[in-house]
Amino acid sequence: MRVMHEGPHPVTPDDITAAARKSFDQAPDERLRFLLQRLVEHLHAYARDVRLTREEWAAAIAFLTEAGHTCTDTRQELILLSDTLGLSMLVDAVEHAAPAGATESTVLGPFHVEGSPLRSMGASIVEQEGSGEPAFLTGTVRDLDGQPVGGALVDIWQNAANRMYAVQDPAQPPENLRGRFLTGPDGAFAFWTVRPVDYPIPDDGPVGRMLAATGRHPWRPAHVHLMVSAPGFRTVATHFFDRTSQRLDGDAVFGVKPSLVVDFEPHGPDEPGAPDGWDATWYTLHQDVVLAPAPAAGDPDQPAGAASTEERGSQPGRWDS
C-alpha cells in the first residue's frame, strides 16, 4: 500500500491578500493602518475580479510612471487622472456633503495657485488685453441663516479666451485672471473678470491618450473657480458654470452640479457700468456663496477607521510619521 504524504499548502491569492493586509497591523497611526489595509483589500479584489495579467499591470505601471514624469510646477497630471476617473469628485462628495442651503463644492482642479494677489474690492483680475469679454461679478458670502460673513477670503481663478490658464500659458502675465478678495462687514465681494469659455484639459500626455483610447473628450464647460474660506466655517471650493455652455452635460471631470449653473446677464456698451473703452457686449453676474459651519470637535462627521482626531493624530493618514 502506497502512503501519500501531504506537501506544503499551496499559496493562494487569498493568502497573499491576507499577508499583505497583516503587514500593516503594527502601523502606529490608526487611520493610516485602516487606509492601507483597505487599499490592499480593494486592489487585490480588483485584480482577482478582472483577472489582471502581468502585461496589463506592467502597462499600468508604465502609465503611472509617465504621468508622474509629466508633472511639473505648473502641471499636475496625476490630479488630471484623478479628475477624469471621477475620483476627485467622489472624494469631495464623501467628505463635503453640503447641508441644505449651503453652496455645493466641486473639484479644485489642477490650476489653483497659492498666494494669488490680494486685490481691492471691485478691482479687475484681468492683466492682459484680449483675455475675453468683460464681466462684473458680485455676490455676498452668507451663513446658513442668511447673515453676511465679513472677513471671508474669496479666491478666484479662471481661464482666458484662448482656453488657457495663466499657469499654462507663458504669454499671459502670471497673475492674469487670478486674485483674492476680503469681504467687508456686509459680506459682499465684487470684481471684474471675463466671461469664461469652454476649454479642454491638457490632453497631450498620458491622461489625454487614455481619454482618446476610450472614446472620451477632454472638454470642460465654461466656469469661474472660487474657493471661499472664513474662520468658523468650512472652506468651499466651487465653480460658477455658464448656463450657455455646450459642455454642461459632458464635463470631462464630472464636476457640474445643477445648483452651480448660473446666468451671465448681457449688457450693451451704452448701459450704466460699462467698462471704459469697451464698445461691445459685456456681462454681469450676481451669485451669493453660503458657507456651512466648520464641524465641531468630536462631531461624527469624520472618516471611518478613526474614532477621533486625538486617536489618529492631527494629520489624517500621515505617510511620513
Q: pLDDT tens, 139-155?
A: 999 999 999 999 999 99
In DSSP notation, 38-50 reads: HHHHHHHHHHHHH
Domain annotation covers residue 226 = yes
Assess whether 149 and 35 both reside in one domain: no
SS3 283: strand
Mean pLDDT across the chain: 91
CA distances from 166 to 127, 149, 160 (A): 10, 30, 8
The secondary element (H helix, E strand) that includes residue 135 is strand 134-142
Assess whether 179 and 109 both reside in one domain: yes
Domain annotation covers residue 96 = yes
Give CA–CA dist 125/156, Å, rounded. Answer: 9
Q: pLDDT tens, 233-259?
A: 999 999 999 999 999 999 999 999 999
The number of domains in the chain is 2
Please, are residues 110 and 278 in contact by the beta-carbon 8 Å criterion? no
pLDDT at 212 over 80: yes
* DSSP state at residue 124: B
- Could you list the residue range(s) of the whole structural domain that residue 126 is in? 83-290
Give CA–CA dist 23/16, Å, rounded. Answer: 11
* Residue with grid cell 494669488, as numbered in its chain: 116
* Residue with grid cell 477621533, as numbered in its chain: 308
Kind of pairing, strands 188-194 and 265-267?
A: unpaired
Four-residue CA torsion sign, 32, 38, 43, 44: positive
Check residue 219 and give its pLDDT. 98
Cell output for 285: 453676474
CATH no. for residue 268?
Answer: 2.60.130.10
Domain annotation covers residue 303 = no
pLDDT at 164 over 70: yes
Assess whether 17 and 162 both reside in one domain: no
